[in-house]
C-alpha cells in the first residue's frame, strides 16, 4: 500500500460517502448505550458526521493514519475468516481510537468498537456480486473480513468524538485551576 495526499483525499471522500451506513450504526449504538446507562444520548445527523470527517481529515498527522487503516480494512480478507479474527479486530480498534482522539476518548472508542462490532455482521450496505478479487461498487472486496470491522470502527470513533453525551456537556469536577 502506498499512501499519498491523493490517497488520503480519496479515503476521506469514501468515509464521507459512507455516511448513511455509519450514521445509522452510530445512532443504533447510541440508542442501545443510552438504554444500558439509563441516559438520553443525542442522535447524529449525516451533516454532523460529514463535518466531523472533514475535521479528522484536516489534521494531516491523523488523516494519513486514518486513511491507511481504512484502506487496509477495505482490502483485508482472510481465507475462512476466523484465522484473521485478531488482525481485523486490532485494526478496527485502532481506527476507532485514532478517529476519537487522545485519551480518554481513544479508550472509550476502542470499547465502543467491540460493542458495535458484535451487532454488525458482514458488510451492512448492499453489495454488488462480483467475481472473486474484484471490488463491489462501494470499493470493498465483497464479503471481506475487514468490512464489518471498518463500519464498526467508523461508527465507534465518530460516535465517541461527536457531541451528544450529557457527561461531555458539563465541565469535569476534576479539573484543577492554577492558583
The CA distance from 102 to 122, in Å, is 29
Section 52-62 average pLDDT: 97
- With respect to residue 32, please indicate whether it lies within any of the assigned structural domains: yes
- Predicted local distance difference test score (pLDDT) of residue 58: 98
Contact partners, residue 6, CB within 8 Å, separation at least 6: none
pLDDT band at 105 (very low <50, low <70, confident <90, very high): very high
Section 104-118 average pLDDT: 94
Cβ neighbours around 22 below 10 Å, total:
29
**For the chain, how many structural domains are there in total?**
1
- Give the angle 37-52-65 at the CA atoms, nearest 5°: 100
- Give the angle 89-39-159 at the CA atoms, nearest 5°: 35
Contact partners, residue 47, CB within 8 Å, separation at least 6: none
| pLDDT reading at 170 higher than 80 | no
- Predicted local distance difference test score (pLDDT) of residue 1: 86
- With respect to residue 174, please indicate whether it lies within any of the assigned structural domains: no
Q: How far is Cα of residue 66 from the mean position of the Cα atoms in its chain?
A: 9
Give pLDDT tens digits for 7-56.
999 999 999 999 999 999 999 999 999 999 999 999 999 999 999 999 99
- With respect to residue 59, please indicate whether it lies within any of the assigned structural domains: yes
Cβ–Cβ < 8 Å for 135, 141: yes
Residue with cell 449504538: 29
| pLDDT reading at 99 higher than 70 | yes
- Predicted local distance difference test score (pLDDT) of residue 156: 97
The CA distance from 38 to 56, in Å, is 30
Cβ neighbours around 93 below 10 Å, total:
23
- With respect to residue 175, please indicate whether it lies within any of the assigned structural domains: no
- With respect to residue 177, please indicate whether it lies within any of the assigned structural domains: no
Give pLDDT tens digits for 117-168.
988 865 554 433 333 444 455 555 555 678 889 999 999 999 999 988 877 7
- Predicted local distance difference test score (pLDDT) of residue 82: 64
Residue with cell 481510537: 97
**118 exposure class (CB count in 10 Å sphere: 0-12, 13-18, 19+):** exposed
Domain of 122, in residue numbers = 5-169
Amino acid at each position: 500500500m502506498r499512501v499519498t495526499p491523493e490517497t488520503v483525499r480519496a479515503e476521506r471522500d469514501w468515509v464521507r460517502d459512507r455516511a448513511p451506513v455509519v450514521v445509522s450504526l452510530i445512532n443504533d449504538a447510541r440508542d442501545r448505550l443510552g438504554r444500558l446507562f439509563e441516559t438520553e444520548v443525542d442522535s447524529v445527523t449525516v451533516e454532523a458526521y460529514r463535518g466531523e470527517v472533514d475535521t479528522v481529515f484536516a489534521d494531516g498527522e491523523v488523516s494519513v493514519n486514518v486513511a491507511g487503516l481504512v484502506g487496509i480494512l477495505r482490502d483485508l480478507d482472510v481465507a475462512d475468516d476466523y484465522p484473521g479474527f485478531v488482525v481485523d479486530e486490532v485494526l478496527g480498534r485502532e481506527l476507532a481510537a485514532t478517529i476519537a482522539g487522545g485519551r480518554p476518548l481513544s479508550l472509550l472508542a476502542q470499547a465502543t468498537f467491540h460493542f458495535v462490532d458484535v451487532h454488525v455482521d458482514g458488510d451492512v450496505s448492499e453489495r454488488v456480486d462480483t467475481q472473486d478479487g474484484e471490488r463491489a461498487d462501494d470499493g470493498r472486496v465483497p464479503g471481506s473480513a475487514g468490512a464489518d470491522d471498518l463500519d464498526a470502527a467508523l461508527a465507534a470513533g465518530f460516535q465517541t468524538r461527536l457531541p451528544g453525551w450529557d457527561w461531555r456537556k458539563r465541565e469535569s469536577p476534576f479539573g484543577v485551576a492554577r492558583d
